Structure 1
């Protein structure tokens, strides 16, 4: 890759910079998912007594819930950071030779690194509570690979819009909150009315959440045709977003 060295350095700086100077340091990368797992277990598993049809009681539902949150949090991280990505790096914009297109890629890689840490936390909790999980969990990188073009497309579109329209940050915050509830994280697709199932099928996160849960919890692997169609559509979306970004890029320097 042409800018591989630059991308690696930017990923290292962003990932390490997030925890630099804090007392917990890199431990926060583990504390954050553990905290979320504990809170959602308490609220939905203990207070609301929500259960997963696959069994396991409160802790089984906690793992079911957390598996979905791993996907959503990675997407939400890229979505929320995108509007300020170009505006917050004005020094890069002024450098004509700097490839601004790599910034959303850096953001996506960092988000997937955090998601990988989330998978590690999930695995440890599963082993402690229920024993060794299904061998299909080793296939989780395939879900991240399918997710990458989606994260890139979102990054390119909203980072460009963030320069053109400064209200973009407020809009994506609303979108993120809405997506949290229209993505089957707290519930199963099978438990909602049929018309709503068709609506959820339009949400690209629905498939990713279903795949990761199938791999981690029940030993299921998505069909080759299903994944292929998803990848083709996701890549087409990313390509269109990249073209949109490059079309607007000449305007960035004048608007920042």
Structure 2
């Protein structure tokens, strides 16, 4: 056989246009992935409140208890208010609005970090797109967030007044926060497979991040400390919470500068997190 003939029989490395059969198979895979994602989210929501009397109400009771504790501390024990730009808005309302958005990030990241380690039985049985695991945690946190945000809007309407037309920007804030949570969860869930200490460290890190985020306080109280203000503004959640309160409480536009920065950081974590996750996902099953 000639060299030319031998070369002609070898498969070309050049990318070929997908055939109709391969495109159909891809569509089936994505459809199966969506169905698996729905089932996993449904499972997570059931597990969260399994065996409890109040069930899903705990999703609302928990942040309300947090609001009660912080309100008592900052209005009774330490009466100097950490909020200087809320006008006549009760501190509890101001806090509740910020806490709801923060919980979306916190719950998504905390649950997402252990999502791969907690699904070893699935990894060893069937093949599916592994990034579905941290995404499930974020979407489950998103379902809880919708319930809490609905209550927050009702509370704001009662004590402050109905939100203005600026509320149309609320989905954008939710998207940026969910993207940030998913990117970080993907990164940490992959790291946790190889370094189990990550699961212990993330709880401490989230607590430090909470106090570096204007959940309880407003940025206006540190305006006279420009160095500290700049450091806090490097936190992407700062711009998200400032913009959220602008929309729901102040009836003004989001802080586009801070929100744009938050969007860039969120996309950065999404790209890096998925890149690290996909690079190591082949080793997940054997490491777990």
Does TM, normalized by the shorter one, top 0.5?
yes
Match of 1:243 among 263, 275, 279: 275
Residues 69/247 of structure 1: CA separation in 2 closer, same or farther (3 Å cut): same
C-alpha distance in structure 1 between counterparts of 2:257 and 2:109, whole Å: 28
Q: Which moved more, 1:135-144 or 1:205-214?
A: 135-144
Match of 1:206 in 2: 238
Superposed displacement of residue 172, structure 1? 0.6
Checking the alignment, whether the CA contact within 8 Å between 1:11 and 1:110 is kept in structure 2 is yes
2:175 equivalent to 1:150: no
**1:221 aligned counterpart, secondary structure:** coil
Runs of 4 or more, structure 1, over 4 Å off, are 223-229
Matched, 1:64 2:87: no
| 1:75 equivalent in structure 2 | 105
Q: 1:216–1:50: structure 2 CA closer, same or farther, 3 Å change rule?
A: farther
Match of 1:114 in 2: 144
Does structure 1 residue 32 correspond to structure 2 residue 38?
no
Counterparts of 2:53 and 2:221 in 1: how far apart (Å)? 43
| CA 1:229–1:127: 2 relative to 1, 3 Å | closer
Structure 1: gaps (5+ residues): none
CA offset digits 1:126-185 (Å, max 9, x no partner): 333344343433532221011122111111111011110011111111101111111112
1:134–1:218 Cα contact (<8 Å) kept: no
| 1:14–1:215 CA distance, 2 compared to 1 (3 A) | same
Tell me how far apart the structure 2 counterparts of residues 12 and 237 of structure 1 sit (CA, whole Å): 26
CA distance in 1, matches of 2:128, 2:282: 13
CA distance 1:76–1:55, change in 2 (3 Å): same
* CA-based RMSD: 2.1
1:102 to 132, 143, 150: 132
Find the counterpart in structure 2 of residue 221 from structure 1.
Answer: 253
Matched, 1:164 2:194: yes
Task: Give matches, 1:46-65, under 5 Å.
Answer: 46-51=76-81, 52-53=83-84, 54-56=86-88, 60-65=90-95
Q: Which residue of 1 aligns with 2:47?
A: 17
Counterpart position of 1:123: 153
Gapped regions of structure 2 (runs ≥ 5): 1-26
- Aligned-partner Cα distance in 2 for 1:27–1:134: 28
Shift of 1:36: 2.1
